[in-house]
Amino acid sequence: MTGELSPIDKAKFVAAKKAVEFVEDGMRVGLGTGSTAAWMVRCLGEVVREEGLRIRAVPTSARTAALARDVGLDVISLDEARWLDLTIDGADEVDHEFNLIKGGGAALLQEKIVATASDRMVVITDASKEVETLGAFPLPLEVIPFGWQTTKALVEEMLDSLDVMGRTTSLRMNGAAPLFTDEGNHILDLHLNRIGNVRQLAMVLNQIPGVVENGLFVDICDTVVVGYGDGRVQLRDLNDNSIREDRLEFVESDNLFADLGD
């Protein structure tokens, strides 16, 4: 129930609920991965059930796909959709230019493919994810398992020549074993602390053999919806440089909040 949610979860919920208002009948919608995106999928499912909204949803991970089907959404592949009207996703960090770090949920590859195949990307977040400079959150890097230690060494060597504050890298684990993404790859987390030139880093990382994709989302996000624990939401639009504020009332719903494990 909303009355039992922490302030952070309330902030995620109101951001997700507000972002669902961008979804219109007949749209093809990309669904993000992560805790905030899970709120959005639940909210979207409720709208579909109660208002009869007809949409087709393209999830960015197996777990998002499972949740979307559980709440009654029509799930299709990106190949079936070809192009999307809108993608709604969370972020691990967002700066004032709407550059993002994503990949905390190990789904950055599918998330970036889906987001770039969309007319619009709306990011939902709480105020704690807003930063002046990206880099405090470890930057995820999806790499193929073959020769991953060589790839890691090449990444570390490359970081020596770039404008970052930290240069430590680590292989993300799933218990005692390396984590595998939905695409069968590993994740290297780059502990950079501060990224001086986001565009340069994103470009250089993807030139390293073995690197599949990085978690820097540059010039992809159009709108950021920031939620607050008191029910306030801010809608920030990059295209017209506008900021609008609203407030959402918490309405308890057993169907919406039951069994939300993400």
Selection from 27, 50, 36, 41 nearest residue 71 by Cα: 41
Q: What distance in Å separates the CA atoms of residue 60 and residue 32, rounded to the nearest whole number?
A: 6
Instruction: Quote the CA–CA distance of 109 and 119 in Å, as a whole number.
Output: 18
The reported pLDDT for the residue numbered 260 is 46
One domain, residues 177 and 64: no
State the Cα–Cα distance between residues 112 and 109, nearest whole angstrom: 5
pLDDT (mean) for 193-202: 98
Q: Which residues are annotated as a binding site?
A: 33-36, 89-92, 102-105, 129
Q: Is 50 one of the catalytic residues?
A: no
Whether residue 259 is predicted with pLDDT greater than 90 in this model: the reply is no
The predicted-structure confidence for 166-191, as pLDDT tens digits, reads as follows: 999 999 999 999 999 999 999 999 99
Task: Give residue 155's domain range.
Answer: 139-213
What percentage of the chain has pLDDT greater than the value 70? 94
Question: Is residue 225 located within the same domain as residue 122?
Answer: yes
Q: In this structure, is residue 4 part of a structural domain?
A: no
The pTM of the full predicted model, rounded to 2 decimals, is 0.93
Q: Which of 46, 51, 111, 132 is catalytic?
A: 111
What residues form the annotated binding site for substrate?
Answer: 33-36, 89-92, 102-105, 129
Give the CATH number, domain containing residue 150.
Answer: 3.30.70.260
* 38, 113: one domain: yes
Same domain, 115 and 195: no
Closest CA to 121 of 213, 256, 236, 233: 236
The whole-number average pLDDT for the span 244-253 is 77
